């Protein structure tokens, strides 16, 4: 009989009833599923909150502060400098297992590493950056150091002196403060246990600063005659002021057209002092002459030309970097009587081979010892040394060359700059690391290599620049791999 109040079971149960079967609902299973969902959600929420509490790395960033101070002023290239880097905890909680990575460009800071002799793990320990630490900086690190700070209590500041030598026209320092986190996290069954892991690095502080470096260009005079060249453009006033620094007031320029020496203190003869010109200075004693700050150096990326007259010409390297006396790249344009181009151009080698140009010479001094074994600057004798093609010529060095024709001699800038002078401080540091890593000598050769001249020599028999030599032997630059 049907239920008049329609209180009978839903239709899905009616069929069972009609078949005489009863299947009661299993409330235990339903309750278990609901309990499991609630428990799982609670564990997730609890785990997330525990991780946030245990790691809480983001809050550390606001606590740590890195500063560079006591910065040097009027720093000049080649000078030593000292400054201070500090790490401070501005928060209310202690910072554990902290250290500072300092990247330095444009300076050598090995003197900093030698300030302590502590062992790793001791607070204040210093060492060079390793390869993995260098990669933490955006463009890598050429040089730098690791400073282990350890525990930095709330409100505490720790400082470290940095001692270096400026090697470029700008010194840049970057400091990254890092912690090796001992992070507690949920683990085990249902994440109800506490586990700890170490070694996860978190950067919590950063600072960078630049030091302006003034180019420190000087002419170093030896006692006696000095055959020099000046790779800078100076105003007439600055040139006269420079000459007035000479104690002996002797400065001469040789004019090949008249075969006479001109006194540079007279009239407007200071105009002969310019890039690419050689001139003579005399000093009774060694003297260091600092050049004016307002000097303008020739751009080594561009070509620079010097006119040669018939006869002996006193010239010099027009650039502030060493150049290679390239047989094919240095060109000579033949000039007509009015100094316009004839259209005929020779390479340096061709002009020498044709007999129109002599080999270039530089002045060398040699010490003379008399029969009594006495030696002094007054007994120094001079000799002219021929420069071989493809050898290098330093800046500030005067050169003597004889020409049978009027020429315009063109130095093609960057194309003849000595390879070693084109290296950045960063790549020089990489070369040093490569040498140490492979157990090589300072020239990149196998340790114990013996050289006939004691050191590698260039084509003129002079000691070859270390970086020029290394680059010539390793054109593939393995230190950059």
Which of 43-52, 161-170, 244-253, 294-303 is the least confident region?
Answer: 43-52
In which band, very low, low, confident or very high, does the pLDDT at 39 lie, cut at 50, 70 and 90?
low
Query: Which pLDDT tens digit goes with each residue over 380-401?
Result: 557 888 999 999 999 999 999 9
In which band, very low, low, confident or very high, does the pLDDT at 463 lie, cut at 50, 70 and 90?
confident
Topology of domain 58-214 in CATH is: Immunoglobulin-like (2.60.40)
∠468-471-475 over CA atoms, to 5°? 150
* C-alpha separations of 50 from 45, 197, 200 in Å: 9, 15, 18
Q: What element of type H or E holds 325?
A: none
- In Å, the largest CA–CA distance within the chain is 149
Round to whole Å and give the CA distance between 455 and 444: 12
In which band, very low, low, confident or very high, does the pLDDT at 141 lie, cut at 50, 70 and 90?
low
Positive/negative CA dihedral, 7, 9, 12, 15: negative
With b for 16 or more beta-carbon neighbours within 10 A and e for fewer, the 168-207 pattern comes to: beebebbbbbbbebebeebeeeebeeeeeeeeeebebbeb
Say if residues 64 and 95 touch (Cβ distance below 8 Å).
yes
Which of 92-101, 154-163, 189-198, 468-477 is the least confident region?
Answer: 189-198
Say if residues 101 and 85 touch (Cβ distance below 8 Å).
no
Round to whole Å and give the CA distance between 168 and 329: 28
Round to whole Å and give the CA distance between 164 and 82: 7
**Residue 101 in 3-state DSSP?**
strand
Write out the residue limits of the CATH 2.60.40.10 domain(s) in the chain. Answer: 58-214
Mean pLDDT across 137-152: 83
Query: Which pLDDT tens digit goes with each residue over 211-266?
Result: 877 765 778 888 888 999 999 999 999 999 999 999 999 999 999 999 999 999 99
Mean pLDDT across 312-337: 95
Helix axis angle, 466-473 to 425-438, nearest 10°: 70
Question: In 1-116, which ranges are continuous DSSP H helix?
Answer: 11-18, 27-54, 57-61, 110-113
**Residue 318 in 3-state DSSP?**
coil
The structure tokens listed for 47 are: 């785990």
Does residue 7 register a pLDDT over 50?
A: no
Which of 144, 141, 140, 210 has its CA nearest to residue 171?
A: 210
Mean pLDDT across 169-184: 80
State what percent of residues in the chain have pLDDT above 70: 78
Report the relative pairing of strands 232-233 and 296-297 from DSSP bridges: antiparallel
Round to whole Å and give the CA distance between 122 and 220: 46
- Look up residue 51 and give its DSSP letter: H
Which of 475, 477, 481, 479 has its CA nearest to residue 434?
A: 479
In which band, very low, low, confident or very high, does the pLDDT at 428 lie, cut at 50, 70 and 90?
confident
Residue with tokens 């060398």: 364
In which band, very low, low, confident or very high, does the pLDDT at 366 lie, cut at 50, 70 and 90?
low
What is the full DSSP assignment across 202-242?
EEEEEEEEEEEEE---EEEEPSEEEEEE--EE--HHHHHHH
**Torsion of the alpha carbons at 378, 381, 384 and 388, rounded to the nearest 10:** -90
Which of 402, 405, 277 has its CA nearest to residue 339?
A: 405
The structure tokens listed for 199 are: 């070694």
pTM score: 0.59
Say if residues 366 and 385 touch (Cβ distance below 8 Å).
no
What pLDDT sits at residue 189?
58
Which of 270, 254, 233, 273 has its CA nearest to residue 400?
A: 254
Query: Which pLDDT tens digit goes with each residue over 434-450?
Result: 988 888 888 999 988 98
């Amino acid at each position: 009989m049907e239920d008049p109040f329609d209180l009978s079971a839903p239709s899905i149960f009616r069929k069972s009833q009609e078949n005489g079967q009863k299947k009661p609902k299993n409330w235990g299973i339903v309750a278990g599923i609901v309990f499991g969902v609630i428990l799982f959600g609670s564990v997730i929420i609890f785990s997330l909150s525990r991780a946030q509490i245990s790691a809480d790395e983001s809050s550390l960033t606001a606590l740590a502060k890195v500063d560079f101070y006591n910065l040097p002023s009027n720093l000049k290239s080649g000078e030593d400098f000292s400054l201070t880097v500090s790490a401070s905890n501005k928060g209310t909680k202690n910072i554990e297992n902290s250290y500072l990575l300092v990247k330095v460009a444009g300076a050598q800071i090995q003197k900093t590493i030698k300030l302590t002799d502590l062992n790793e793990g001791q607070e204040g320990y210093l060492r060079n950056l390793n390869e993995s630490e260098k990669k933490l900086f955006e463009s890598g690190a050429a040089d730098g150091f690791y400073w282990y700070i350890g525990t930095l209590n709330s409100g505490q500041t720790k400082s470290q002196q940095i001692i270096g030598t400026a090697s470029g026209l700008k010194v840049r320092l970057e400091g990254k403060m890092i912690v090796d986190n001992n992070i507690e996290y949920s683990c085990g069954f249902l994440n109800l246990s506490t586990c700890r892991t170490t070694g996860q690095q978190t950067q919590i502080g950063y600072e960078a600063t630049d030091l302006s470096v003034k180019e420190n260009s000087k002419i170093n005079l030896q006692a006696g005659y000095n055959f020099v060249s000046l790779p800078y453009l100076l105003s007439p006033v600055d040139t006269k002021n420079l000459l007035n620094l000479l104690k002996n007031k002797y400065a001469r320029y040789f004019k090949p057209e008249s075969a006479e020496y001109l006194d540079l203190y007279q009239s407007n003869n200071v105009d002969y002092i310019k890039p690419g010109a050689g001139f003579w200075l005399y000093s009774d004693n060694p003297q260091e002459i600092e050049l004016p700050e307002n000097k303008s150096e020739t751009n080594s990326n561009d070509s620079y030309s010097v006119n040669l007259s018939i006869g002996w010409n006193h010239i010099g390297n027009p650039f502030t970097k060493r150049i290679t006396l390239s047989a094919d790249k240095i060109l000579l344009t033949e000039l007509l009587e009015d100094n316009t181009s004839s259209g005929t151009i020779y390479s340096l080698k061709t002009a020498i081979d044709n007999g129109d140009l002599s080999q270039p010479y530089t002045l060398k001094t040699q010490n003379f010892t008399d029969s009594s074994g006495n030696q002094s600057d007054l007994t120094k004798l001079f000799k002219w040394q021929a420069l071989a093609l493809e050898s290098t010529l330093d800046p500030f060095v005067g050169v003597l060359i004889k020409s049978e024709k009027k020429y315009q001699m063109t130095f093609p800038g960057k194309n003849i700059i000595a390879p070693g002078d084109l290296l950045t401080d960063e790549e020089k540091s990489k070369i040093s690391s490569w040498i140490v890593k492979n157990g090589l000598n300072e020239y990149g050769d196998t340790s114990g290599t013996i050289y006939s001249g004691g050191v590698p020599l260039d084509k003129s028999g002079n000691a070859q620049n270390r970086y020029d030599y290394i680059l010539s032997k390793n054109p593939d630059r393995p230190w950059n791999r």
